[in-house]
Amino acid sequence: MSRRSTEAQSVVRAVNRPDDSKWSQQKLPMWKPILTLKWAIGILFSVAIACLVLGVLVLRGTKELSVYRVVYDDTVLPSIVQEGGSVAQLTNCHLKSLSDANSFSGARTCYVTITLEKDFVGDGRVFYELAPFYQNHRRLVASQEPTQLLDLWSTTAYETSACEPLITASSKYCNGTVCNGPEGNRQLYPCGLVANTMFNDIIWFDLYTDGNSSSNTRLHNGTLPTGDSFGHGDLNHTGIARNFLTYGIINPTMKLDLAKYLPIWHNPNYSRIIPTPGADNLPQINPDYSNSTAWTTTPPGTGLENEWFRVWYDVAATPTVRKLYGHIDKAKLVKGATLTFAVQSNFFAEGAKSIVLAEVGWFGSENTRLGAAFLITGSMCMIAGIAFLFRYLRNPRKLGDVSALKWKLH
């Protein structure tokens, strides 16, 4: 080995050699805590106090939040006037069987009116609620092909057997409100129960008949105490999906043959809700709500990146499914304001369908169960802490004392 190569190796070793410090050489003193009875009592009381304080704050905050919930469809026809508001033309929204669903007809439109009893402190969230709807069912969640959402799927590389029992459908394909082509058996994209059970009721809020902000003809009214009216863009649909999911759901780059495949944005059940990627998706709102699109201004994303679709695909963990549909600026949600929503009923559910207008606090929307869980946990920790404290005061023992141990003599 040459002298030059030896010197080079020495330089490399010198560069890579860690500095001679206690941190780099792992010679720092070690502290190993011992969980004594005193420490256990302190931890239990600390956790108890924290949980009890959080429980009280959550329950108090829940009580102070403004929440209006109006049922517009149920297995049994709900009442017209409810605690949260009222419903006009209620029978239009009542779907008696699955054959009544997916009509997208103006005859299936009812009107939910909510009058605010106090000012909103924060922006108002508009939710749709299904109760019960078991979106967390193992069979439903398993029926999907995740690669179709990641632009990794191809007809040759991946099978769709994971989407059983919903892989194909006999249907036409649609662009917005216009359906074309012959009806045939096509493979759903994305396939599976999660995507193809999407909630497709449409909720409009104080809309103009022609989508032109200069028009004075409104389909229905929403008014403020000042006499001003809500505009068609006051219900904002953008920013409703969780941000950390945006990276995982992207539109496919491959071209899908419509003779073989039925993308969800061309599916007649969802084409009025999910715009076509790369197309000119102008809003279409007819006076009778027939053949109208869900978006009234700029749609909240197209194709699989549509925010309504992404919100639905983020499956709920409880039998009561409450998902965000849009939000309204708090500046217009003042005491005495009247909001009227036009709801087109297309989704058949064996349970109640509701509109919820709610404030969101620092802990989220109303959540009495979370507050109760904190109180129960805090109470249990407090009881355990008191029991351990009583044991410590009644019969203390020094650390390392072996006098109480019994040794077996031989």
Q: What is the pLDDT of residues 342-359, one digit of tens each?
A: 999 999 999 999 999 999
Per-residue pLDDT of 57-90, as tens digits, reads: 999 998 889 999 999 999 999 999 999 999 999 9
284-293, 298-307, 341-350 — which is least confidently predicted? Answer: 284-293
pLDDT at 215: 37
What digits encode the pLDDT tens for the residues 153-165?
Answer: 877 666 778 888 9
Euclidean distance between CA atoms 347 and 111, whole angstroms: 16
Give pLDDT tens digits for 322-343.
999 999 988 888 888 888 899 9
Per-residue pLDDT, 8 = 55
Written as six digits, the tokens of 228 are 């001003």
Q: Which amino acid is present at 88?
A: A
Sorting pLDDT into bands at 50, 70 and 90, what band is 27?
A: confident
Please report, for the chain, the start and end positions of each structural domain, with discontinuous segments joined by +: 37-65+362-392, 68-360
Report the pLDDT averaged over residues 15-39: 82
pLDDT the model gives residue 300: 92
pLDDT: is 244 or 152 the higher one?
152
List the structure tokens of 175.
């662009």
**Pairing of β 178-189 and β 168-175:** antiparallel
Distance CA 374, CA 55 (A): 5
Q: Which band of pLDDT confidence, cut at 50, 70 and 90, is reported for residue 223?
A: low
User: If you write DSSP's letter for every residue of 331-378 in order, what string do you get?
Assistant: GG--TT-EEEEEEE-----SSEEEEEEEE-BTTBS--HHHHHHHHHHH
pLDDT at 183: 83
pLDDT at 10: 56
Mean pLDDT of all residues in 220-243:
74
Q: Could you give the percent of the chain with pLDDT greater than 70? A: 87
In whole angstroms, what is the distance from residue 295 CA to residue 233 CA? 10
pLDDT at 323: 95
The pLDDT of residue 156 is 66
Tell me how far apart the alpha carbons of residues 317 and 302 are, in angstroms, rounded to a whole number: 26
Is 276 strand, coil or helix? Answer: coil
- What's the rounded Cα separation, in Å, for the pair 36 and 57? 32
In this prediction, residue 216 carries a pLDDT of 36
Residue with tokens 């028009």: 215
Out of 4-13, 30-39, 254-263, pick the least confident: 4-13
**Which pLDDT score, from 0 to 100, does residue 1 have?**
54
| Strand pairing report for 338-344 and 202-205 | antiparallel
With a cut of 60, say whether residue 239 has pLDDT above it.
yes
* Per-residue pLDDT at 22 exceeds 50: yes
Q: What is the mean pLDDT of the chain?
A: 85
Which carries the bigger pLDDT value, residue 30 or residue 380? 380
Mean pLDDT of 385-401: 86
How far apart CA 82 and CA 252 sit, in angstroms, is 45
- Predicted local distance difference test score (pLDDT) of residue 356: 96
Question: What sign results for the dihedral spanned by CA atoms 363, 369, 371, 373?
Answer: negative
Is 70 exceeded by the pLDDT of residue 384? yes
* pLDDT for residue 386: 96
Helix H or strand E segment including 49: helix 37-64
Residue 296 pLDDT: 85
pTM: 0.80
Instruction: Decide if pLDDT at 142 tops 70.
Output: yes
Q: What is the rounded CA–CA span in Å between residue 351 and residue 349?
A: 5
| Alpha-carbon span 206 to 234, nearest angstrom | 8
Position 25 scores a pLDDT of 82
